[in-house]
Amino acid sequence: MKQRERVIMMGDCQSFYASVEKADYPQYEDRPLIVAGDPERRSGIVLAACPIAKRYGVTTAENVGTALAKCPELIVMRPRMEKYIHVSMQITNIMRQFTDLVEPYSIDEQHLDVTGSLSLFGDPDTLARMIQAEISRKTGVYCRFGVSYNKAVSKMACDNYAKKNADGIYLLPREKLEEALWPLPIRSLLMVGSQMERHLLNMGLPTIGHLANTPLSRLKARFGVNGEVLWRLANGIDPSPVNPNSHQGLKSIGHEMTLPRDYYSLETIAIPLLELTELVCRRCRDKGVMGSVVHVSCRGADFDRPSGFSRQWKLADPTNVTNQVYDAVMTLFRKHWDDLPVRKVGVSLSDLTRADEYQLTLFDERPKYQALERATDEIKRRYGESAILRAASVTASGQARDRAGKIGGHYR
């Protein structure tokens, strides 16, 4: 018996952060509104702009000053990441009322496999409208839906059509793939950024259809496995299932930090590296894992002429002890830093293993340090991230105190 074609939706929340703010502050419903970072810390970047603000030409990722020049009457809201995470989880739970196969794609996007739900709720268009209405009623957020036969095509249907439709819904069945997607410019293909677009244009592939009809061997010879990935996407091939547990398996734990100014000396850079290491190791301890591979990255302050590095080092034994990981971090940094100003640093641990099962070594100091750090972890859990800090973090180079009141670098 022929297997039934899957029906997959991609739900995307319109101007998510701005929509959440307008839902909480209805007096701004008819006003142009943006959500932006903290200008005092040189992070005054537009994170989200409502449709009214976009009509003035305001775009995400531009400077707040530029946005205000385009629209002086802009309402500028400081981001509240804790609130956005809460609403995102609320929307995911609303979707789970209609199908148990919901896979978060980002904070404002979710994949839904509704194949088994249609017999209960009707055709895909009807079901999309029901979910859309329920999300709007409970959160005040407007959600658009691309509907197709797999995750990749539903994502492209959402990005290229549903977002532009008045009702925010677009159905793209398999038989209309060539008609709907192939005429689109190559930049409209999932996973094609500006650099890849330039490469493909130089190959004489201006549209998705041109790429889809290019011999696979030519693409693989130019891009390797990525060439096949692009070819499969252009031809609407994506067998990956909607997996509600896709984000539960950890491969690595890491954090990055954009610094508020240029850091020039090893002494000043070492402090945020220590803070990041402590944060990574604490997350490892919370999750009951240790890591064997330490990864360090940094990026220079001049984004037009990028400098920096990304290197890793295999430890002799897995650990989640801050001082042990920090020794490796600084060894890597001293070896590979080019002495140019630094604006962004990152630390991660990978090759994770369970923390309750490991090989003891002679003169092993991990248990002693782990006991000490479990005590400081508990203090932070009970009294807040800034309840206990290293002395270095209260210097001018430290960022831990400021970041304690933020999520992902943004205010809670």
Residues designated as active site: 109
Cβ atoms of 281 and 373 within 8 Å: the answer is yes
CA-to-CA distance for 188 and 200, rounded, in angstroms? 12
Picking from 118, 117, 164, 122, the residue whose alpha carbon sits closest to that of residue 145 is 164
First-residue to last-residue Cα distance in the chain: 52
Cβ atoms of 46 and 54 within 8 Å: the answer is no
CA–CA distances in Å: residue 405 to residues 259, 386, 398: 16, 8, 14
Binding residues for Mg(2+): 12, 108
Cβ atoms of 352 and 291 within 8 Å: the answer is yes
Give the pairing of strands 289-300 and 308-319: antiparallel
Binding residues: 12, 108
Cβ atoms of 305 and 341 within 8 Å: the answer is no
CA–CA distances in Å: residue 288 to residues 210, 352, 354: 49, 10, 6
CA-to-CA distance for 143 and 147, rounded, in angstroms? 13
Burial of 273: CB neighbours in 10 Å, binned 0-12, 13-18, 19+ = buried
CA-to-CA distance for 93 and 76, rounded, in angstroms? 29
The residue written with tokens 């990981």 in the block is 325
Q: What is the DSSP string of 164-199?
A: TSTTSEEE--GGGHHHHTTTSBGGGSTT--HHHHHH
Picking from 107, 97, 86, 163, the residue whose alpha carbon sits closest to that of residue 131 is 97
**Range 198-207, long-range pairs (CB < 8 A, 24+ positions):** 199/223, 207/182, 207/183
Which ranges of 96-165 does DSSP label H, i.e. alpha helix? Answer: 118-121, 124-139, 151-157
